[in-house]
Amino acid sequence: MNSCSTYGKWILQGPNEHRSTAAALRLFCIPQAGCGAWSFHGWSSKLPAGVEVMPVELPGRNSRMAESKDATSIQQLASEILDAIEGLLPGDAAEGEAGGERGRESRQHNPPYALLGHSMGAWVVYEIAREIRRRRREEGAATAMPRKLYVCGNRAPHLSGARNDPDQLSPSIAALPDDRFWACFERRYGANPDLASPSIRAYILPLLRADFRLVESYVCVCGDPLELPIAAVGAEGDSRYLPEQLSRWAAHCCVPSAIGGRGMGSEQASGGGDGGGEGEAAAHITGRVNGVVQGQGEGAGAGAGAGASGFSEHWFTGISPEQGAEYWGTPHRIVLDYPKELQEYLAMDLPTLY
């Protein structure tokens, strides 16, 4: 795989997607379980020239296959990622005297940024944002908060755990015997012909088990909602989360919505957000327009960036007709196999952040 690692082993950009010296915004992308940075290769050509795509390569896969998978929790993995990319993030000069100096220096070179995660990656980017906030509050860190979170293909973090998994036949598969693991995996995600070979399965199974252990053991200690916009992205017909579970990401955002703002219809149908879940913050869904839901939380978010519009929910085509009648996959592969609608949305939305 001819890819570029100008930023070191944690950021692996695709062929001809070399480091940009004129980026107006960086988009850090975290893949789903079992996948690597390659999931986002080719995205640069689909997004505005001012956006630099930063695919994160996690340990124990692809270009880092020889490395051990040391993380034992989503939170630990998020902290490790933040340690690795913190030098690529802008600083906030308002955060402390010493931190302010670092912030002023790094902000001269590092543009603002957003975080995007799919499936497992959605919980990881949420925890990265929480860890940045914790370091700012408790350690006086100067790292600026992201302009926005894009959480794709997963239920809200306070709905983690087996009892909330839509697959109630086998909500936990990480520790299953090999044959049962693959049977459950195919029932959830489709019978991938690339994984049919016993040798390929033996090669990738330890990685899948490790990632699923992280997902299945994840417990969100949610605390205060994040003071930044969150966009929740779903694929129609994806059985890995229920529509109401995606909507509940609104509970983790406390930036007021710009009702009828950029890219939104002007009509809003009043609707109530449902509560529930331990530690869930108060949040309200204010309406659905053309497949998009905007949410409104309490309080104003500092430093959320231009065009911030609180919580929004976006649903795209579950399986693209371009895949053909013989397509074996499921709607959960929206990032891997048919990202066109998602990329078109990002192409319109990302410029509002810079």
What's the number of domains the chain is made of?
A: 1
Buried-state track 267-299, b at ≥16 Cβ within 10 A, e below 16: eeeeeebeeebeebbebbbbbbbeebbbbbbee
In-domain check, residue 297: yes
User: Average pLDDT in the 67-90 region?
Assistant: 94
Q: What is the pLDDT of residue 150?
A: 99
**Which is nearest to 209 in space by CA: 23, 3, 61?**
61
In-domain check, residue 172: no
Q: Over 90: is that where the pLDDT of 283 sits?
A: no
Q: What is the pLDDT of residue 188?
A: 97
In-domain check, residue 188: no
In-domain check, residue 305: yes
For residue 288, what are the β-bridge partners?
A: 293
Residue 256 binned pLDDT confidence (cut-offs 50, 70, 90)? low
In-domain check, residue 326: yes
Q: What is the pLDDT of residue 274?
A: 35
Measured CA angle at 291 (ends 290, 294), to 5 deg: 95
How far apart CA 109 and CA 327 sit, in angstroms, is: 44
Task: Please count the helices (runs of H) and the strands (runs of E) in the chain.
Answer: 8, 8
Q: Residue 243: which CATH number?
A: 3.40.50
In-domain check, residue 16: no
The share of the chain scoring above pLDDT 70, in percent, equals 78
- Structure tokens of 247? 């909507």
Q: What is the pLDDT of residue 5?
A: 63
Residue 70 binned pLDDT confidence (cut-offs 50, 70, 90)? confident
Higher local confidence (pLDDT), 211 or 321? 211
In-domain check, residue 61: yes
* pTM for this entry: 0.85
How far apart CA 51 and CA 114 sit, in angstroms, is: 10
Q: Which domain holds residue 136?
A: 25-163+219-353
User: Average pLDDT in the 153-166 region?
Assistant: 98
Residue 132 binned pLDDT confidence (cut-offs 50, 70, 90)? very high
In-domain check, residue 207: no
Q: What is the pLDDT of residue 301?
A: 34
